Amino acid sequence: MAKYIVVAGGVMSGVGKGVTTASIGKILQEHGYKVTAIKIDPYLNYDAGTLRPTEHGEVWVTDDGGEIDQDLGTYERFLDMDIPRKNNITTGQVYKTIIDRERQGEYLGQTVQFIPHIPDEIKRRIKDTSNDFDFVLIEVGGTIGDYENIPFLFAAKSLEREIGKHNLSYVLVTYLPIPSHIEEMKTKPTQQAIRLLSESGIFPDFIICRAKKALDIVRKKKIETYANIISEHVISEPDIETVYQIPLDLEKEKLGEKILKEFGMKSKKQPNWNEWKKLVENILNPKKNVKVAIVGKYIDIGDYNLADSYISINQSLLHAGASLGIGVDIDWLDSKKFEDNKKNLNELKNYDGIIVPGGFGASGVEGKIMAAGFARENKIPYLGLCYGLQLAVVEFARNVCGLKDANTTEVEPKTKNPVIDVQPAQREILEKHMYGGTMRLGAYAAVMKEKTQVLRLYQETGRLHEDTKRIQELMKDKSQTFRLGILEKGKKIVLERHRHRYEVNPKYVNLLEKNGMVFSGYYERFDKTKLMEYIEMPGQFMIGTQAHPEFKSRLGNPSPMFYGFVKACISNH
């Protein structure tokens, strides 16, 4: 049976609970255990698909099409594994399930109540993620003392009663401020958090103390006495330069061994942090730096569908850089400045590479198209992510194929040359398969063209092999085979995650190809429609993908597209 570790946060939000949870997971993995992690979000939204990114950070997309809080992304980046959507539990999901059940008469006349029905449903969802894992980490969102997370603490307590305390541990991640006017680290807010947690009957087994500095003996003792736990279980987690240092720092305090001991367990293997240390070292002291421009729209904060939080892209560049010993400096350029004055495009010459990331809506689009054109003409390495592919296609259609009015119907619904468009048949399928929207969401297979730059990148990074295993898993699950589409035997297949509505219009593919654009991979739906997944320009690094490869980049296992891009930036340096 799985062991559970409940991680709750005290004092305030933003102390790094997600990263701490991921780090504990990484540590237990290094000690030889199979680990997964759950994020509990105490809001009433069913998922994060409709949340404003400027408030909640970017939406994370899972292989199985979940739109989720970005903490799941942190787990995947640390644990190097694909985590399914069911590992995100929201209050909205819990209530919806219960109300739906009640409407279907499944409670047979019972009064449906907070207790026991809500904690029971939470427990059912938690256990449902456990499969054959040794450890399940459960990060409770929000801060102790919030009304919203009480049901989840109650459920944890109830799970503890059910499976026994020896199978469940509590970790409190807290914050110790050093107010500037007294320059002394204060433990009082942590004491309050401990007291608030005890109101739910929970006494932490470990207290992880986030602060500017490591705790001294005096503060550790204070917390030890107040929380009634041994001081070895009060662990410092001081500010650091890169989050990937955290597992190493926590291991300096022997957190792995201590947690295992708490469960009466021992390490299954001697942890080997050499590889991880080397990557961290590369992040901290790169041999060389390249400079990348990310051209997006950054100011329309009132816009609902703003996709302008780019944590995953940031992380993907960091991972690719770490593997290559290269630091990547990022400048965020507002595409509208190119629309205001074409001369501003020359600024792009100062960069080793250009990224046009995902986005929605019409604002800033012309500027992004101009940037794509500038990259193509000046042979500056270019990586187009989703919208970045679509707009590079629009640019190529206009300026190389001579279709002056080419556009995406997202921006110009009546354009005569809709090179990017929603596919009618696809919309039908989407509506049948997905709830909550009409997006193509989650992992889709791409059949790769031989001898292309993109295929080479997947080979070079070992992703082709990894994806073959994953494809076999997907084949077994009938509800997911639409993600693979038609796969011809002997073809090379890769998987990336998607989140978009529009596609390269199949009617224009021939014309674009004739003019020199290479489509390096496609997804073939069961009705034989081929959707283009990758573009590249021969003789230069100008690559685009309809997917979001940034969702599958991990430290030590970088995304092929980003890896290739950073390498191209070095050559262009």
- Which residues are designated catalytic? 386, 548, 550
Helix (H, G, I), strand (E, B) or coil at 512: helix
Q: Is 386 in the site for ligand GLN (CB under 6 A)?
A: yes
Calculate the alpha carbon distances from 477 to 104, 107, 419, 467, 484 in Å. 27, 31, 34, 16, 11
Site string for ligand GLN, 480-499 (x = CB under 6 A): -------------------x
* Window of 11-19, 287-295, 357-365, 559-567 that interacts with ligand GLN by CB under 6 A: 357-365
Cβ pair 34, 134 in contact under 8 A: yes
* Closest distance to ligand GLN from the beta carbon of 387 (Å): 4
Q: Which is nearer to ligand GLN, 259 or 535 (CB)?
A: 535
Q: Which is nearer to ligand GLN, 244 or 396 (CB)?
A: 396
Q: Which is nearer to ligand GLN, 242 or 305 (CB)?
A: 305
Residues 195-254 touching ligand GLN, rule: CB under 6 A, are: none
* Closest distance to ligand GLN from the beta carbon of 270 (Å): 43
Residues 392-421 touching ligand GLN, rule: CB under 6 A, are: 410
CA distance 70 to 14: 13
Place of tokens 């529009």: 502
Which residue's C-beta sits nearest to ligand GLN? 358
Residues 299-328 touching ligand GLN, rule: CB under 6 A, are: 307
Q: Residues with Cβ < 8 Å from 465, sequence gap 6 or more?
A: none
CA distance 287 to 274: 19
Q: Is 297 in the site for ligand GLN (CB under 6 A)?
A: no
Q: Give the residues across from 207 on adjacent strands.
A: 172, 234
Q: Number of helices (H) and strands (E), helices first, in the chain?
A: 20, 21
Cβ pair 137, 38 in contact under 8 A: yes
Q: Which is nearer to ligand GLN, 358 or 418 (CB)?
A: 358
Strand pairing class (168-176; 135-140): unpaired
Q: Which is nearer to ligand GLN, 389 or 570 (CB)?
A: 389
Q: Is 501 in the site for ligand GLN (CB under 6 A)?
A: yes
Contact residue for ligand GLN among 75, 154, 502, 551 (CB under 6 A):
502
Contact residue for ligand GLN among 75, 152, 351, 387 (CB under 6 A):
387
Strand pairing class (60-61; 234-238): unpaired
* Closest distance to ligand GLN from the beta carbon of 501 (Å): 4
Closest CA to 354 of 552, 556, 569: 569
Q: Which is nearer to ligand GLN, 102 or 334 (CB)?
A: 334
CA distance 120 to 162: 11
Contact residue for ligand GLN among 4, 360, 382, 551 (CB under 6 A):
360
CA distance 498 to 84: 15
* Window of 253-261, 308-316, 352-360, 551-559 that interacts with ligand GLN by CB under 6 A: 352-360
Q: Is 358 in the site for ligand GLN (CB under 6 A)?
A: yes
Calculate the alpha carbon distances from 474 to 72, 209, 310, 464, 469 in Å. 21, 41, 29, 15, 9
Half-sphere exposure of 478 (CA within 13 A, CB side): 0
Q: Is 368 in the site for ligand GLN (CB under 6 A)?
A: no
* Closest distance to ligand GLN from the beta carbon of 568 (Å): 21
Site string for ligand GLN, 4-43 (x = CB under 6 A): ----------------------------------------
Q: Which is nearer to ligand GLN, 318 or 386 (CB)?
A: 386
Q: Which is nearer to ligand GLN, 175 or 360 (CB)?
A: 360
Closest CA to 272 of 78, 77, 32: 32
* Closest distance to ligand GLN from the beta carbon of 350 (Å): 25
DSSP code for 86: G
Site string for ligand GLN, 253-292 (x = CB under 6 A): ----------------------------------------
Q: Is 65 in the site for ligand GLN (CB under 6 A)?
A: no
Cβ pair 443, 549 in contact under 8 A: no
Cβ pair 22, 28 in contact under 8 A: no
* Closest distance to ligand GLN from the beta carbon of 546 (Å): 8
Closest CA to 569 of 286, 238, 166: 286
Give the other-Cβ count within 10 Å of 128's Cβ: 12
Query: Six-digit token pair at 514?
Result: 């004739």
Q: Which is nearer to ligand GLN, 244 or 502 (CB)?
A: 502
Query: Six-digit token pair at 409?
Result: 């119907």
Contact residue for ligand GLN among 319, 500, 552, 567 (CB under 6 A):
500
* Closest distance to ligand GLN from the beta carbon of 418 (Å): 13
Q: Residues with Cβ < 8 Å from 474, sequence gap 6 or more?
A: 443, 445, 480, 481, 483, 484, 495
Site string for ligand GLN, 148-187 (x = CB under 6 A): ----------------------------------------
* Closest distance to ligand GLN from the beta carbon of 53 (Å): 11
Query: Six-digit token pair at 460?
Result: 């070079």
Q: Is 359 in the site for ligand GLN (CB under 6 A)?
A: yes
User: Could you write out the three-class secondary structure of 514-546?
Assistant: HCCCEEEEEEECCCCCEEEEEEECCCCCEEEEC
Q: Which is nearer to ligand GLN, 173 or 531 (CB)?
A: 531
Calculate the alpha carbon distances from 206 to 169, 192, 234 in Å. 8, 16, 6
* Closest distance to ligand GLN from the beta carbon of 499 (Å): 5
* Closest distance to ligand GLN from the beta carbon of 133 (Å): 31
| Residues contacting ligand GLN: total by CB under 6 A | 11
Place of tokens 């207790």: 115
* Closest distance to ligand GLN from the beta carbon of 410 (Å): 5
Where do contacts with ligand GLN occur on this chain (CB under 6 A)?
Answer: 307, 358-360, 386-387, 410, 499-502
